Amino acid sequence: MSETFDAVFIGAGHNTLACALHLAVRGWRVGLFEQAGVAGGAVKTGDYTLPGFRHDWAAMNLSLFAGSAFFKAHAAELVKHGADFVPVSHPFASAFPDGTWCGVSTDMAATTARIAGHSTQDAATWQTLVAGFGAEAPHLFGLLGSPMKMRALAYFGFKTLRAKGFGGTADMGRFLLQSPRDWLGQTFQSPKVQAMLGAWGMHLDFAPDVAGGALFPYLEGMAAQAFGMALGKGGADTIIRAMVAAIEARGGRVETGATVSRILHTNGKATGIELADGRKIMAEKAVIAGVAPRALPRLTGTASDYDQKLTDFTHAPGTMMIHLALDALPDWAAGPDLHRFAYIHLAPSLDQMARTYQQAQAGLLPDEPILVVGQPTTQDPSRAPDGKHVLWVQVRMAPGTIRGDAAGQITATDWSTAADPFATRALDILERYAPNTRAKIIGQRIVTPAELEADNPNLIGGDQVCGSHHLAQNFLFRPVRGHADGSTPIRNLHLTGAGVWPGAGTGAGPGYLLAQKLAGK
């Protein structure tokens, strides 16, 4: 016996859930089959240290989701099913080894004053950039939300030319090709202001010297100034639970603990999936795979040129997560004002970021990794018992396969034995910026790149962005030229997830664009 849906999904990450909900709203019967024990992929929350301490497994920042076209289209239904956000007016800051810091808040005067403490010229530049953001945002967000099809791009280019003229359009194109270091060095005088913004490039595999990365420090800085940040109330999984509930309320199914062993297809057309337990699930209209690109050929059993390009898809270096349950917040050497911020970057210079990235790319454990320290309980106390806190520490970068140690201290080359000493290195860095933090730790969970991949096969080598976003693998080329819309050579088979344009982040862009295409908007 087999069961039939209009659309069958492999995986229940936030992109497949978004795609499924949009289709369900338009009358499609959808079935999602997820190998993990819970839906959400990298967007999930749990008591990973002690009972009552709610930690976001990987993704924490939900700003892209809260501001997405998908959420705007389905906000009423998702809110009805429990989606809830905590607005953050102090999104991010960077602390520096000399005890100084700089951060961005929605209070323009406060942000400008902090930047002026490092450079009055940079403060004036910041004001100019913020004043111009309203005019630039429609073009940049328009590009990032546009289907990567020639007709759509031609229309986007026409609109941009009409609005900005040839010179302005050319300047925008040049900006999109710049590295973070190029743009930051040409725009800001203070190395600390450059580092504060440049740290955001590391979130998306754009080390300071990688072409095409200037856009992300700019957008993160401007968006944080204009809109702040959004965290999930009680945890990032608020959006997952709401989407699952909304899909099920419309007659769809989200089944966890269900591993897909292969995609069924005959005469060049996808017809369904087969589960590891032998069940066959048929699809009338579409099979949608929310998998890392290189996983698709293993599921189809095909060996075309397209499949080879998917197999060659390049992944970014990995990350290690350290989840901490604390008796009290860290005592930041730079001062208690840092307690107000959701994210603290410990990434003191562009040079250090570049060195860390190169070391991880070479398979080395970095001698001084970048730390992204999330303080969600400063914004949402419900995530921990009264007076207690959780700390979300993302260690960037970390090689998926260890070939050595840049510091020459860790001899282990497997994550099972390298995890503790590398985590010790990371916590040593945290201790330098926030003395006595170790004494406040009452619970700890280390999640290695290997464990991230074991939990979610899409995070290959611990790559949380499901593939490099460098220019040769972005825009029209994500994941393969001619297939940036998620189409495949097999009819009715579609690929979605962060490996497909517009790529990583919690904005659900790949899933929503695909759903709009399938449903005719």
Residues 256, 339 share a domain: no
The pLDDT score that the predictor gives to residue 404 is 98
Written as one letter, the residue type at 485 is D
Residues 351, 290 share a domain: no
The pLDDT score that the predictor gives to residue 101 is 98
Within 10 A of 173 (CB to CB), how many other CB atoms are there? 11
The pLDDT score that the predictor gives to residue 221 is 98
The predicted model scores a pTM of: 0.96
End residue of a domain, out of 427, 455, 483: 455
Residues 401, 320 share a domain: yes
**H helix or E strand, kind and range, residue 305:** helix 305-311
Residue 490 maps to a domain: yes
Residue 56 DSSP SS3 = strand
Q: Are strands 343-346 and 370-374 parallel, antiparallel or unpaired?
A: antiparallel
Output the furthest CA–CA distance in the chain (Å, rounded): 72
Per the CB < 8 A criterion, the answer to whether 375 and 229 are in contact is: no
The pLDDT score that the predictor gives to residue 439 is 98
Q: In this structure, what CATH number is given to the domain that contains residue 256?
A: 3.50.50.60
Written as one letter, the residue type at 40 is G
Residue 425 maps to a domain: yes
Instruction: Compute the distance between CA of residue 457 and CA of residue 463 in angstroms, rounded to an integer.
Output: 10
Residues 194, 137 share a domain: yes
Residue 323 maps to a domain: yes
Residues 216, 107 share a domain: yes
Residues 330, 445 share a domain: yes
Residue 344 maps to a domain: yes
Residue 17 maps to a domain: yes
Residue 89 maps to a domain: no
- The b-or-e profile of 16-37 (16+ CB within 10 A means b, else e) is bbbbbbbbbbeebbbbbbbbbe
The pLDDT score that the predictor gives to residue 162 is 86
Q: Are strands 260-266 and 269-275 parallel, antiparallel or unpaired?
A: antiparallel
Residues 356, 296 share a domain: no
Q: In this structure, what CATH number is given to the domain that contains residue 402?
A: 3.90.660
Q: Spell out the residues 6+ positions from residue 153 whose beta carbon is closer than 8 angstroms to its own.
A: 146, 476
Q: Are strands 404-405 and 229-232 parallel, antiparallel or unpaired?
A: unpaired
Residues 297, 344 share a domain: no
DSSP state string for 423-489: HHHHHHHHHHHSTT-GGGEEEEEEE-HHHHHHH-TTSGGG-TTSS--SGGGSGGGSSSTT-TTSB-S
Residues 239, 225 share a domain: no
Per the CB < 8 A criterion, the answer to whether 501 and 487 are in contact is: no
Q: Spell out the residues 6+ positions from residue 188 whose beta carbon is closer than 8 angstroms to its own.
A: 119, 122, 125, 194, 197
Per the CB < 8 A criterion, the answer to whether 114 and 102 are in contact is: yes
End residue of a domain, out of 230, 265, 291: 230
Residues 471, 397 share a domain: no
Q: 164 is in which domain, residue-wise?
A: 101-230
Instruction: Compute the distance between CA of residue 277 and CA of residue 208 in angstroms, rounded to an integer.
Output: 47
The pLDDT score that the predictor gives to residue 157 is 79
Report how many domains make up the chain.
Answer: 3
Residue 189 maps to a domain: yes
Residue 282 DSSP SS3 = strand
The pLDDT score that the predictor gives to residue 159 is 83
Query: Residue holding tokens 């892209």?
Result: 64
pLDDT in tens, the chain (521 residues): 589 999 999 999 999 999 999 999 999 999 999 999 999 999 999 999 999 999 999 999 999 999 999 999 999 999 999 999 999 999 999 999 999 999 999 999 999 999 999 999 999 999 999 999 999 999 888 888 888 887 777 777 778 888 889 898 888 999 999 999 999 999 999 999 999 999 999 998 999 999 999 999 999 999 999 999 999 999 999 999 999 999 999 999 999 999 999 999 999 999 999 999 999 999 999 999 999 999 999 999 999 999 999 999 999 999 999 999 999 999 999 999 999 999 999 999 999 999 999 999 999 999 999 999 999 999 999 999 999 999 999 999 999 999 999 999 999 999 999 999 999 999 999 999 999 999 999 999 999 999 999 999 999 999 999 999 999 999 999 999 999 999 999 999 999 999 999 999 999 999 999 999 999 98
Residues 105, 218 share a domain: yes
Q: Which of 159, 205, 153, 144 is nearest to 354 (CA)?
A: 205
End residue of a domain, out of 455, 478, 507: 455
Instruction: Compute the distance between CA of residue 412 and CA of residue 131 in angstroms, rounded to an integer.
Output: 51
| Angle, vertex CA 105, rays to CA 100 and CA 107, nearest 5 | 120
Residue 109 maps to a domain: yes
Written as one letter, the residue type at 280 is K
DSSP state string for 103-127: EE-S-HHHHHHHHHTT-HHHHHHHH
Residues 244, 212 share a domain: no
